[in-house]
C-alpha cells in the first residue's frame, strides 16, 4: 500500500472510529425508572466503616428480612468503602480475599435469594476516601465487573479527584454503566460541592447535597480539614433545593443515623424529617442489635408512605418560631403531610389554627385551602385519628421530637 492510500485508509478509519464513539455516547444515558420513589435500604459505612466482611453483609440481609424492614419497603443492602482487593493483570478489580473470600457475585446471589438487592461503592478519584482502589481510568472495566457481579446500586464518591471535572467524571461512569447493560441505581456522592442538583437528574438517580452526616442531633464534628454534620445542620442545608427533586432524581441529605446513639426522640425526629424531604431512606446502623423502639421507627409504614408518596414532591418549611418549625408536604389524592419539629431541648406547647393559615406550595402551585376543605387528622406516630381541621390543633412536643400528621382530604 502506498503512502497516499495509507493516509486515506487511516483517515477513513479515524472517521469511522469517531462515528462509532459519537454514536455510542450520544445514546448513553442513565437507566430510567429505577427510583420513581426514593431508594430504601441499608449501607455499611455509618456503623462499620472499614470493619466489614461477607458474613456481616449476609447478617444484615438476614436481619432486614426478619426485622420487618423488607416488608416495610427496604430493599438495598449496600457495601460501602474497603471491600476492594487488587486489580488483575488486565486491570479488572477483585474484592479483598480475606474479607470477601467467596466473592461479590456469591454475595449478590445470597442477597437476591432474600428478595433484596446488593449495592457497592467506588470513587471517581485515584483512591477511595479510605485509600483503596478507585475507578479513575477504569470506569468501563468496573462497570462491566459490577454488571457481571449482578450489582443493583452504585454509590460513587468524590475523594482524591484533583484535576477532575465533576460533571464529566460522573457522566463517564453513567455512560459506562449504561454500556455494561445492567440497570444499576446510580448514587452521586459528590457532597454538593459542584451543585449536582443542577445537572444530576440526567446523570444519576440521587445526589448528595452535603458533606457527611454525624450521629448527633444538633452538633458538628470537626475533622480538621473537613467537617461532618449533625441532623439539624444537614436539614438546614436543604433550603432552596426542593425544586430539583422528583421521581427518579432525588436530593440525598446522606444516610440516616437512626439507631446509632441518639435518643429515641431524636431518632424519631430524624426519620420523620427525612421522610418529609422525600429523601432516600438508607439506614446506617447495626441491624442485628436494634431495639424495639428503633425497629418501630424504621418500620412505621404510614410515616414511610410520606417519603414514598408517588407525587415525589419534597416537603418545605412553612414557619419557624421559637425553634418550633412547621413543615408541609403535598401528597397524592390531595392529602398533605405536616411535621412539627421542636428544636429545643425542652418540651414546647404548639397550637395551630388551621383557619388562619394559608399553606401553599409556591413551586408546584398546590394549596391546602383549609377554609374550604376539611381534612381528617391522623397522628402517624400515635397511629390514630385525632380530629379534623375544623378545630385548632394543640400538642405538647417533647424536646428534640416531632409531631407527624397526615391530613386526609374530605370536602366540606
Where do the domains of the chain lie?
Answer: 29-307, 316-411
Check pLDDT > 80 for residue 20. no
What's the pLDDT score for residue 27? 67
What is the rounded CA–CA span in Å between residue 258 and residue 369?
34
Mean pLDDT for the chain overall: 93
Q: Considering the entire predicted model, what is its pTM?
A: 0.92
Q: Is the dihedral of CA 400, 251, 192, 177 positive or negative?
A: positive
| Gap between the Cα atoms of 73 and 116, Å rounded | 10
Mean pLDDT of 300-320: 98
d(CA 129, CA 190): 12
Q: How far apart are CA 191 and CA 189, in angstroms?
A: 6
Percent of the chain with pLDDT over 70: 93
Q: What is the mean pLDDT of residues 17-26?
A: 40
Q: pLDDT tens across 171-217, in order?
A: 999 999 999 999 999 999 999 999 999 999 999 999 999 999 999 99
**pLDDT tens readout for residues 118-155:** 999 999 999 999 999 999 999 999 999 999 999 999 99
Over residues 107-115, mean pLDDT = 98
Q: Is the pLDDT of residue 300 over 80?
A: yes
Q: How far apart are CA 231 and CA 362, in angstroms?
A: 26
pLDDT at 410: 77
For 210-243, the pLDDT digits (tens) are: 999 999 999 999 999 889 999 999 999 999 999 9
Task: Using the predicted structure, report yes or no on whether residue 22 has a pLDDT greater than 80.
Answer: no
d(CA 196, CA 156): 13
For residues 29-54, give the mean pLDDT: 98
254, 259, 261, 267: CA torsion to nearest 10: 70
Residue 261 region by backbone torsions, left for phi larger than 0, else alpha for psi between -120 and 50, else beta: left
User: H or E element: which one contains 234?
Assistant: helix 231-236
The residues that are catalytic are 157, 212
Task: Name the percent of the chain in helix, strand, coil, to the closest 5.
Answer: 30, 25, 40
Question: CA distances (Å), 382 to each of 183, 191, 226, 294, 357, in order?
Answer: 39, 35, 40, 15, 24
Q: Which CATH architecture has domain 29-307?
A: Alpha-Beta Barrel (3.20)
pLDDT over 70 (residue 412): no
State the CATH architecture for 316-411.
Sandwich (2.60)
Residues in a beta bridge with 361: 366
**pLDDT at residue 28, as a whole number:** 78
d(CA 270, CA 276): 10
pLDDT at 348 over 50: yes
Amino acid at each position: 500500500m502506498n503512502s497516499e492510500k495509507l493516509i486515506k485508509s487511516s483517515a477513513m478509519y479515524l472517521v469511522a472510529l469517531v462515528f462509532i464513539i459519537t454514536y455510542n455516547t450520544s445514546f448513553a444515558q442513565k437507566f430510567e425508572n429505577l427510583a420513581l420513589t426514593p431508594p430504601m435500604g441499608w449501607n455499611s459505612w455509618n456503623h462499620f466503616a472499614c470493619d466489614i466482611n461477607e458474613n456481616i453483609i449476609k447478617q444484615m440481609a438476614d436481619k432486614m428480612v426478619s426485622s420487618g424492614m423488607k416488608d416495610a419497603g427496604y430493599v438495598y443492602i449496600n457495601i460501602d468503602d474497603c471491600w476492594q482487593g487488587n486489580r488483575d493483570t488486565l486491570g479488572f478489580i477483585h474484592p479483598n480475599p480475606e474479607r470477601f473470600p467467596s466473592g461479590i457475585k456469591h454475595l449478590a446471589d445470597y442477597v437476591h435469594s432474600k428478595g433484596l438487592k446488593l449495592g457497592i461503592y467506588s470513587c471517581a478519584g485515584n483512591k477511595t476516601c479510605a485509600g483503596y482502589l478507585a475507578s479513575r481510568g477504569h470506569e468501563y472495566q468496573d462497570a462491566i465487573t459490577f454488571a457481571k457481579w449482578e450489582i443493583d446500586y452504585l454509590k460513587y464518591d468524590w475523594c482524591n479527584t484533583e484535576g477532575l471535572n465533576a460533571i464529566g467524571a460522573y457522566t463517564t461512569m453513567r455512560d459506562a454503566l449504561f454500556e455494561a447493560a445492567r440497570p444499576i441505581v446510580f448514587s452521586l456522592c459528590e457532597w454538593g460541592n459542584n451543585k449536582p442538583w443542577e445537572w444530576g437528574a440526567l446523570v444519576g438517580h440521587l445526589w448528595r447535597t452535603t458533606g457527611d452526616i454525624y450521629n448527633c442531633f444538633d452538633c458538628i464534628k470537626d475533622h480538621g480539614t473537613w467537617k461532618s454534620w449533625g441532623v439539624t445542620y444537614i436539614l438546614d442545608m436543604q433550603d432552596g433545593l426542593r425544586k430539583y427533586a422528583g421521581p427518579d432524581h432525588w436530593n440525598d441529605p446522606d444516610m440516616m443515623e437512626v439507631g446509632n446513639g441518639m435518643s429515641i426522640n431524636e431518632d424519631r425526629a430524624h426519620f420523620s424529617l427525612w421522610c418529609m424531604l422525600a429523601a432516600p431512606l438508607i439506614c446506617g446502623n447495626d441491624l442485628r442489635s436494634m431495639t424495639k423502639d428503633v425497629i418501630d421507627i424504621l418500620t412505621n409504614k404510614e410515616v414511610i408512605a410520606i417519603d414514598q408518596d408517588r407525587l415525589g414532591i419534597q416537603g418545605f418549611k412553612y414557619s419557624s418560631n421559637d425553634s418550633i418549625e412547621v413543615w408541609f408536604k403535598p401528597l397524592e389524592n390531595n392529602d398533605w403531610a405536616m411535621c412539627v419539629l421542636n428544636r429545643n431541648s425542652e418540651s414546647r406547647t404548639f397550637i395551630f389554627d388551621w383557619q388562619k393559615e394559608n399553606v401553599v406550595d409556591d413551586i408546584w402551585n398546590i394549596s391546602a385551602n383549609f377554609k374550604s376543605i376539611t381534612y381528617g387528622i391522623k397522628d402517624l406516630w400515635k397511629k390514630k385519628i385525632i380530629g379534623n381541621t375544623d378545630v385548632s390543633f394543640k400538642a405538647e412536643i417533647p424536646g428534640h421530637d416531632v409531631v407527624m400528621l397526615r391530613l386526609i382530604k374530605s370536602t366540606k
